[in-house]
Amino acid sequence: MKPAQDFIAQNKQRFLDELLELLRIPSISADPKYKDDVLRTAQVVAQSLRDAGADNVEVCPTSHKKDGKAKDGYPVIYGEKIIDKKLPTVLVYGHYDVQPPDPLDLWTSPPFEPVIKKTKVHPQGAIFARGSCDDKGQAYMHIKAFEAMVKTNTLPCNVKFCIEGEEEVGSPSFRPFVEKNKKKLACDVVLCADTSIIANDVPSITTGVRGLAYLQVEVTGPNRDLHSGVYGGGVANPINVLAGMIDKLIDKNGKITIPGFYDDVLNESKKDRKP
């Protein structure tokens, strides 16, 4: 690993400058006003993969169905380095879109003007900008680790990158993209560059992250206030009904009680748990 580490040390300032440049683009996928910025970020990420030494870099168009109609999505950036087909292939997943920065008055510096500062929590200094730790920072770190290994001829396996632009809006186009590109994305291991580390000096790999399922439930009741003396107890209050429904979703051990909810969940094996 020594040559790669030397490469990182020699290029540290450039790596940092490039990341700060990426953080300056407000790639807010949830707000159509920032569409051009999101698309520009996609191009910057693609170029950074090319510069890092990835082959077959593509800005892949995506789409999904909404209300029965096809809707364009933000592109997925793909790139690869296949050094030996017999070696395992690692696919790095990340996303280049960011959450909206509201509420702005809680920021001590503008969200898209990155600053490096020391705080109580970050005595060694940290970058403060929207996306710095979700997920431009992490995705970029993997691109730079890849670059260091490519440029020093120390890459030990094949690598593929798949970096999407809709993670912060629920990835509506990602599933259709993956289904259409199974062969292109085929790999032995997926490395999700969208998690965190326990501490700066503890490299950490997160195994098994939770998904997200949500729905909107509307409970309607009487069309006017009802007199408690006449109707109290006889007519259910929608708030009480709703509270009861929510309460029934989880048992006293925190287990979700919806029938079938755990059907597709795989339990870890003893081998998985082994450090």
Q: Which residues bind Zn ion (CB under 5 A)?
A: 134-135, 194
Main-chain phi, psi angles of 154, to 5 degrees: -120, 15
| Residue for token pair 């200094």 | 125
DSSP 211-223: ------------S
Residue in the shown chain whose Cβ atom is closest to Zn ion? 135
Q: How far is the CB of 172 from Zn ion (least distance, A)?
A: 15
Question: Tokens in use for 132?
Answer: 């710095």
- Least distance (Å) between residue 88 CB and Zn ion: 25
The candidate with the shortest Cα–Cα distance to 34, out of 169, 170, 160, is 169
Distances (CA, A) of 227 to 105, 223, 224: 44, 12, 10
Among residues 18, 97, 164, 168, the one annotated as catalytic is 97
CA–CA gap between residue 81 and residue 89 (Å, rounded): 9
Is the N-terminal amide bond of 36 cis, ω within 30° of 0? no
Type of residue found at 130: R
Task: Determine whether 97 is an active site residue.
Answer: yes
* Least separation in angstroms between CB 131 and Zn ion: 9
Phi, psi for 144 (deg, rounded to 5): -70, -35
Count CA atoms closer than 13 A to 73's CA, side-chain side. 27
At its nearest, how many Å lie between Zn ion and the CB of residue 99?
A: 8
How far is residue 122 CA from its own chain's centroid? 23
Q: How far is the CB of 167 from Zn ion (least distance, A)?
A: 5
**In degrees rounded to 5, what are phi and psi of residue 256?**
-75, 130
CA separation for the pair 99, 69 (Å, rounded): 26
Cβ closest to Zn ion, residue 96 vs residue 128: 96
- Of 69, 80, 252, 65, the C-alpha closest to 181 is 80
CB of 135 to Zn ion, least distance (A): 4
Question: Do residues 16 and 132 lie in contact, with contact meaning Cβ atoms separated by under 8 Å?
Answer: no
Whether 167 is catalytic is yes
Nearer to Zn ion, 58 or 194 (CB): 194
Active-site annotation, residues: 97, 167
